[in-house]
Structures are given as C-alpha cells and as structure tokens.
Amino acid sequence: MTNNTVSNTARVLGAGLRALLVLTLVCGVIYPLAVTGVAQALFNDKANG
C-alpha cells in the first residue's frame, strides 16, 4: 500500500512539474513573442512607441 502511494505521488508530481514547464514556456515566452511579432508586422510604425 505504501509503495503504491509513493508511486502515485511521484507520477502526479512529475505531471505537475511538466505542466508547469509547458505552461511557463507557452504563457511566458511563446505567446509574448508571437504577439510582439504580429504587432511589429502589422503596425511597424506604431509598435515601438
């Protein structure tokens, strides 16, 4: 019983850490770069302030 609980905890923890990494990359890197790229492409004269 204890081994099964530790195994399940490790699986859930690993899945959570992977989700954290993926969401950090998507929300913190990929999305801002995509929005900046679109703004630069469509509104080059206004995008830099």
Following DSSP, what letter does each residue of 6-22 receive, concatenated?
A: HHHHHHHHHHHHHHHHH
- Tokens, residue 44: 């080059």
d(CA 7, CA 25): 27
Domain positions in the chain: 18-49
State pLDDT tens for residues 1-49: 567 898 999 999 999 999 999 999 999 999 999 999 999 999 988 867 6
Of the candidates 30, 26, 29, the residue with the CA atom closest to the CA atom of residue 18: 26
The pTM score is 0.72
d(CA 14, CA 6): 12
What three-state secondary structure class fits 28? helix
